[in-house]
Amino acid sequence: MRGNVFIAGLGLIGGSLAKAVKKAHPQAHIIGFDLRESELGLAEALNIIDEKAASFESGAAGADLIILAVPVLQTEQMIERLASLPLKIGVLITDTGSTKSRIMKKAHILEERGIAFIGGHPMAGSHKSGVAASKELLFENAFYLLTPGVAAEEKHVAILKKWLEGTRAKILEVTAEQHDQMTGVISHFPHIIAASLVHQARKFNHDNPLIERLAAGGFRDITRIASSNPEMWKDISLHNKDILLTLLSDWRDEMNEILSILEKEDEDGLYRYFDDAKTFRDSLPARSQGAIPSFYELYVDVPDYPGVISELTGYLAEERISITNIRIMETRDDVYGVLVISFQNEKDRLRAKSCIEQKTTYDLFLA
Ligand SMILES: NC(=O)c1ccc[n+]([C@@H]2O[C@H](COP(=O)([O-])OP(=O)(O)OC[C@H]3O[C@@H](n4cnc5c(N)ncnc54)[C@H](O)[C@@H]3O)[C@@H](O)[C@H]2O)c1
Ligand SMILES: O=C(O)C(=O)C[C@]1(C(=O)O)C=C[C@@H](O)C=C1
């Protein structure tokens, strides 16, 4: 496809979309805009965009496709600004916000002018923000939810899907209400719980600083998302307030239920509580991106001696296997350390496993 694609907000999501759009449509001209000059400059220096817009207005003026990739309260304001601007005839506008009901309501002001707005939400991401963390394949195999507005016809949805082909995401259409209900449960509410677990540990840490060192393994896994951008989560929580309030109240009931089972030392009840959760969790599709992010991780039980990491990465480099991340799990301070190496895809992970198996006697686990 050819045309001007204007991306407002060049962070993790805007940057990743810019890369995906360019990959599938090299003829497209990508114009970027961000409040932060640092992000804009970096996006230009890394060739993620073809041109910096001097202002939001000038970037929007000649665009065939406008992608709003800013926190959701800012998205509402941008929609208002767009509604008062002279835009190109036939322009298509979409967003990437994690909530949809309020954004779709706000988009009525565009629809009154006959402008097609299609809400969008790529259901993959990270706790990292900023254009430096953006990735062309961030959305590969993830669900990408669309909520077409009343002025968006089938042909508009088809055009947007074509523009988004490079994301390699699975695109689905839902209503804004369905969207907010589902993402409330599987994305927004878990972020509140993750933050609350961190607050709880922080309070205990005050009296018992050893907590900080012991908070590894499971605690780190379940609280990873508490490291996400607070500005973004403030906005999401406000936008999805009603659904989150209901979920919080349900959660209180859930906690009271487990409290009573534990008080009674009800062994069967406790077993069932964990087993039912495990059964449902285990039945969720594995290795697809989305609400539960998949990391192609390999766990290597390495002895603690100097140079062990460079030894392993050296073997992988010889086989030209790229790694995306490497970390040491700090659960066991003494005898062994478990090294966690992440890969871009399953193929690389399996190649790495067989490479390390051939060259060492270390125990390996696929998570
Ligand atoms: N991070 C995720 O995991 C994720 C996943 C899917 C969707 N989203 C949604 O995508 C949107 C962007 O999130 P992100 O993770 O890329 O955030 P980010 O913080 O990485 O990037 C947002 C960018 O928007 C810019 N910005 C903010 N207000 C602006 C304004 N008024 N004008 C111009 N630029 C402005 C910021 O400077 C920043 O560079 C949010 O609505 C978020 O809810 C996030
Ligand atoms: O993987 C993460 O860090 C995320 O929080 C990604 C996540 C999610 O909750 O699944 C966060 C918000 C987005 O709207 C979509 C994806």
Contacts for 194 with CB less than 8 Å, ≥ 6 apart: 222, 223, 224, 225, 226
CATH assignment of the domain containing 131? 3.40.50.720
59 plus 167 within the same structural domain: yes
CA 22, CA 65: separation in Å to the nearest integer? 13
| Per-residue pLDDT tens digits for 60-79 | 999 999 999 999 999 999 99
Average pLDDT score over residue span 271-288: 85
Domain extent, residue 10, equals 3-174
- pLDDT: is 235 or 300 the higher one? 235
User: Could you say which of 235, 250, 283 is where a domain stops?
Assistant: 283
Give yes or no for a contact between 341 and 312, defined as CB atoms under 8 angstroms apart.
yes
How high is the pLDDT of residue 259? 98
167 plus 191 within the same structural domain: no
Give yes or no for a contact between 352 and 321, defined as CB atoms under 8 angstroms apart.
yes
Q: Which ligand is nearest to the CA of 294?
A: 2
Between helix 189-207 and helix 241-263 the angle, nearest 10°, is: 50
Please report the atom of ligand 1 found closest to the CA of residue 36.
Answer: 37
Distance between Cα 291 and ligand 2 center (Å): 6
**Domain tally, the chain:** 3
Closest alpha carbon to 179 in 150, 142, 145, 148: 145
| pTM for this model (two decimals) | 0.83
163 plus 89 within the same structural domain: yes
- First vs last Cα of the chain: how many Å apart? 40
Asked whether residue 290 is domain-assigned, the answer is no
How high is the pLDDT of residue 204? 84
Average pLDDT score over residue span 297-311: 83
Average pLDDT score over residue span 194-214: 86
Residue of minimum CA distance from atom 9 in ligand 2: 187
Distance between Cα 56 and ligand 2 center (Å): 27
In our burial notation (b when 16+ CB lie closer than 10 A, e otherwise), range 335-348 reads eebbbbbbbebeeb
CA 35, CA 56: separation in Å to the nearest integer? 9
260 plus 244 within the same structural domain: yes
316 plus 199 within the same structural domain: no
What amino acid is encoded at 308 in this protein? V
Answer whether 69 contacts ligand 1 (Cβ < 6 A): yes
135 plus 240 within the same structural domain: no
Residue 332 has pLDDT above 60, yes or no: no
Average pLDDT score over residue span 348-354: 93
169 plus 201 within the same structural domain: no
CA 295, CA 308: separation in Å to the nearest integer? 23
Asked whether residue 291 is domain-assigned, the answer is no
What amino acid is encoded at 352 in this protein? A
Q: Which ligand is nearest to the CA of 95?
A: 1
Asked whether residue 49 is domain-assigned, the answer is yes
CA 195, CA 226: separation in Å to the nearest integer? 5
One-character DSSP codes across 2-50 = -EEEEEE--SHHHHHHHHHHHHH-TTEEEEEE-S-HHHHHHHHHTTS-S
User: Could you say which of 249, 283, 317 is where a domain stops?
Assistant: 283
Residue 234 has pLDDT above 80, yes or no: yes
Tell me the pLDDT band of 235, cut-offs 50, 70 and 90.
very high
| Per-residue pLDDT tens digits for 236-254 | 999 999 999 999 999 999 9
170 plus 187 within the same structural domain: no
Contacts for 83 with CB less than 8 Å, ≥ 6 apart: 109, 110, 112, 113, 115
212 plus 241 within the same structural domain: yes
275 plus 127 within the same structural domain: no
Residue 90 has pLDDT above 70, yes or no: yes
Tell me the pLDDT band of 127, cut-offs 50, 70 and 90.
confident
7 plus 125 within the same structural domain: yes
Average pLDDT value over all residues in the chain: 91
How high is the pLDDT of residue 292? 40
CA 94, CA 236: separation in Å to the nearest integer? 17
Tell me the pLDDT band of 33, cut-offs 50, 70 and 90.
very high
CATH assignment of the domain containing 255? 1.10.3660.10
CA 147, CA 101: separation in Å to the nearest integer? 9
155 plus 7 within the same structural domain: yes
User: Could you say which of 283, 315, 346 is where a domain stops?
Assistant: 283
Residue 32 has pLDDT above 80, yes or no: yes
Which residue, chain included where needed, has tokens 């809400």? 119
CATH assignment of the domain containing 325? 3.30.2130.10
CA 184, CA 363: separation in Å to the nearest integer? 39
Tell me the pLDDT band of 290, cut-offs 50, 70 and 90.
very low
